[in-house]
Structure 1
């Protein structure tokens, strides 16, 4: 009969696992930056990743979710559609003579304010033309987003809904069952804050 592991041992193993994963990604990134995989680049990546993790330790970000292939497919498809649509919209604004778009900065409280969810949602929003993350309030779980071409209160509400839709698709692609349930049923204030 086996005894359950002590909680501190499980967290220590989890920290080591997370550090090894980060180490591997840093080595891979180093080699990709150089553009070729050689023994010299591999050795340089191993040394550089070790120095980075030793002197600039990354905060612990644990992943408790699971990969859902259908959710990833939906996320990728919607991302491409939004990217093309937003690019066309920004291009139209750029070439439309005499049109001056109005911009706004909105605060959106996410339903799942974990570090990983905040980071992924912010990254995805920053990749879409016409939106840019200005600030992240980690403690309150709020993203401050600059949006382009705001036409009124309905447009602001639509922008907030779009941010929450991105969050929902990310959680549907990689979140745990509890996180998925929370994003589908979790109530947040419609108006900021």
Structure 2
């Protein structure tokens, strides 16, 4: 069967459908409108983006835990409200809230999990991903409300909890085992393998 056969194209379309639908939902979330017009314009944008900016096919783990997906969404919404209230409080209290750039080495080697972690931490008020090092699997977060090293570590652990939630929801069984075992960061494992 040639790579351009109709069957192969249909299979590729089917595997990319979740990402395509996610682009439409993301467009609607960005505009804050869940209307027919937002859905249609999101569909047009998704077609444009996937046609013009051809990216390699992302590999799905094939594992989805509906319970953990729901938990991810519920915890995210609660964190969104808590973050908004915290930032609002910081703006009305006197003095500077303090800010820091925090390096967060992730434990998994999965693009989808890294993207979920980065998006979740960026959408919660008070933190923003300023850089994502895909090769070493490290996120750099700008966080406000940091006054001590304990606050820095708390924020780092918060981002790692988002990674763990993403793995429990949609990660592979290998990534789930890494999270459960308390494995070191991906870049540390790479360094250990390089010294052998």
TM-score, length basis structure 2: 0.74
* 1:125–1:131 contact (8 Å) kept in structure 2: yes
What CA distance in whole angstroms lies between the structure 2 residues aligned with 1:67 and 1:81? Answer: 22
Q: 1:13 to 1:181 in 2, by over 3 A?
A: farther
Q: State the match for 1:161 in structure 2.
A: 157
Of 35, 54, 57, which residue of structure 1 is paired with 2:54? 57
Q: 1:184 to 1:100 in 2, by over 3 A?
A: same
Gaps of at least 5 residues in structure 1 are 1-8
RMSD: 3.5
Of 98, 101, 109, which residue of structure 1 is paired with 2:97? 101
Deviation at 1:107, TM superposition (A): 1.0
**Greater radius of gyration (CA):** 1
Of 149, 153, 169, which residue of structure 1 is paired with 2:145? 149
How do residues 1-193 of structure 1 correspond to structure 2 at under 5 angstroms?
Answer: 15-19=12-16, 22=19, 35-36=35-36, 52-97=49-94, 99-188=95-184
TM-score, length basis structure 1: 0.75
Number of residue pairs matched by the alignment: 179
* 1:109–1:188 contact (8 Å) kept in structure 2: no
Deviation at 1:82, TM superposition (A): 1.5
